[in-house]
Amino acid sequence: MRRRLAVALVAAAFAVPAVAQQQEPFEPEGYRADNYRAPVPETLAGARVLTTAEAEAIWRAGSGAFIDVLPRPPKPKNLPAGTVWRDAPRRNIPGSMWLPDTGYGSLPQAMDDYLQRGLARASGGDKAKLLVIYCLADCWMSWNAAKRALAYGYPNIAWYPDGTDGWERAKLPTEEAQPEPRPEQ
């Protein structure tokens, strides 16, 4: 009886890592189109994946442009007169360009154009410039946006998957951000 229990425990110990490996997120072929706040893959084909220390070094050296893609709901168009609307505050990595809502799995043409114009501004028109794309930890928005930037022909993309969550955990500075003006949809 003890021997069977020991064998069962050993077998279970070997099975747990195999199950954990199967549950690791993998890179989808296309863009992630749902459940955007979920564990992200450790890789993004064609992009450099940054740790917080690496992102900080790029930021301190000023050797890359930082792009925040955290979504932001727009002010509803049909609010009753006198209704007070307050956007949720966003603190991002200092000097970042905030291009909200550009990390969804499918973008309307106006938002796709908005992202392309934003990347062109952030890069100064130099597609070889290092662009660091981020959002929050476990946020597929940044993964999608970085993958899109690669598809647009930007070869020097760095994806910072820990985003402002990792940045703040490291007690690095943030600043209040305002998004780039969005197109009317």
Determine if residue 178 is left, alpha or beta; phi over 0 gives left, psi from -120 to 50 gives alpha, anything else beta. Answer: beta
Parallel/antiparallel/unpaired status of strands 97-98 and 175-176: unpaired
Whole-structure pTM value: 0.84
More confident call, 167 vs 81: 167
Question: Confidence class of residue 16 from pLDDT cuts 50, 70 and 90?
Answer: very low
Amino acid identity of residue 80, one-letter, is P
**What is the pLDDT, as a whole number, of residue 14?**
45
Over residues 45-85, the pLDDT tens digits come to: 999 999 999 999 999 999 999 999 999 987 788 888 888 88
Helix axis angle for 109-123 and 140-151, nearest 10°, is 80
**What is the pLDDT, as a whole number, of residue 11?**
45
Over residues 17-50, the pLDDT tens digits come to: 444 444 668 999 999 999 999 999 999 999 999 9
Percent of the chain with pLDDT strictly greater than 90: 75
Chain centroid to Cα 99, Å, comes to 11
Instruction: Let me know: does 140 contact 133? Beta carbons within 8 Å.
Output: no
Say yes or no to pLDDT of 105 above 50: yes
**What is the pLDDT, as a whole number, of residue 6?**
43
Question: Going along the chain, which residue ranges are E strands?
Answer: 48-49, 65-68, 91-92, 97-98, 131-134, 157-160, 175-176
